[in-house]
Amino acid sequence: MSKDRILAFGCHPDDIEFMAAGTLALLAREGFEIHLACMAGGEGGSPTEAPQVIRARRLKEAEASAKLLGGHFHYAGGYDLEVEYSSLYRQRTTRIVREVDPWIILTNPPMDYMADHEETSKLVRTAAYIASVPNYDCGYPTQATGRFPYLYYWNAITLKDIFGRPLPVSCRVDITSAIEDKAAMLAQHASQRDWLKHHNGYDQYLEMMRGWSREEGSVIGVPYAEGFIQHISQGHPQDNILKTLLGDRCHPVV
Ligand SMILES: [Zn+2]
């Protein structure tokens, strides 16, 4: 029987794979039930295919990635470059949080290179807070959850905010033993990988991921790592559950 549920909720179909899939692979090995969700359908991810065509492909790719961890995939119904902190998006986000009722949530950081990512961060943060409020009607037949989840943000793309500054990472997870699982998950997003490969003449898609994982790893003296910032304000549990679950593989920033 699997342990509790962990939800990684990203903006675009491949956000999770770039920044958090190694940690998810480690948690899947520990027996946790993994859920991947994306806010937008990746409609902007093709120079030639129509939005609905590329969306259908990309959602299938994301689902295949989740399956590599024996996990589940959810699509919030949003649209690339239109993600906004609005009632419609709050309702869609809360629907997924209520349906999964996760113990731990991972999501995009509040500061990142795309406003879509930042809006997703805010939406998931709010949904994590209001999913347990019975009087919040999310517009779908759901039940309020009975608990506050742990909430973590993964690091920003390029590991810097829009002003070139590092984010206040609270811990790094050594994902060296899971880097190939992470690469296999990212490789499921063939539509994006092939596009970049064709455009640049080398496999830039996987190399970008390995590069950021390597950079994060160099901070703690291991080949590959992922950085996380824990949300520790009012309501949410404040102990570092990743440290508890992953032991020596989780390196808190002191
Ligand atoms: Zn993205």
pLDDT in tens, 207-244: 999 999 999 999 999 999 999 999 998 899 999 999 99
Q: How far is the CA of 118 from the centre of ligand 1 (A)?
A: 10
Q: How far is the CA of 112 from the centre of ligand 1 (A)?
A: 10
Q: How far is the CA of 44 from the centre of ligand 1 (A)?
A: 10
Q: How is residue 176 annotated by DSSP? A: G
Strands 225-230 and 150-154 come out as antiparallel
Q: How far is the CA of 238 from the centre of ligand 1 (A)?
A: 27
Q: How far is the CA of 249 from the centre of ligand 1 (A)?
A: 26
Query: Would the pLDDT of 1 be above 60?
Result: no
pLDDT-derived band at 196 (thresholds 50, 70, 90) equals confident
Boundaries of every domain in the chain: 5-232
* Fold exhibited by the domain 5-232: Rossmann fold (3.40.50)
Residues 6+ apart with CB under 8 A from 212: 18, 19, 155, 157, 158, 159
pLDDT-derived band at 149 (thresholds 50, 70, 90) equals very high
Q: How far is the CA of 81 from the centre of ligand 1 (A)?
A: 10
Percent of the chain with pLDDT over 90: 90
Structure tokens at 77: 């119904």
Distances (CA, A) of 135 to 79, 94, 125, 129, 145: 27, 13, 18, 13, 12
Query: Helices (H) and strands (E) in the chain — how many of each?
Result: 9, 8
**Cα–Cα dist 23/217, whole Å:** 13
**Phi/psi at 228 (5° precision):** -135, 150
Provide the pLDDT for residue 2.
63
Q: How far is the CA of 186 from the centre of ligand 1 (A)?
A: 13
Q: How far is the CA of 21 from the centre of ligand 1 (A)?
A: 14
Query: Would the pLDDT of 200 be above 80?
Result: no
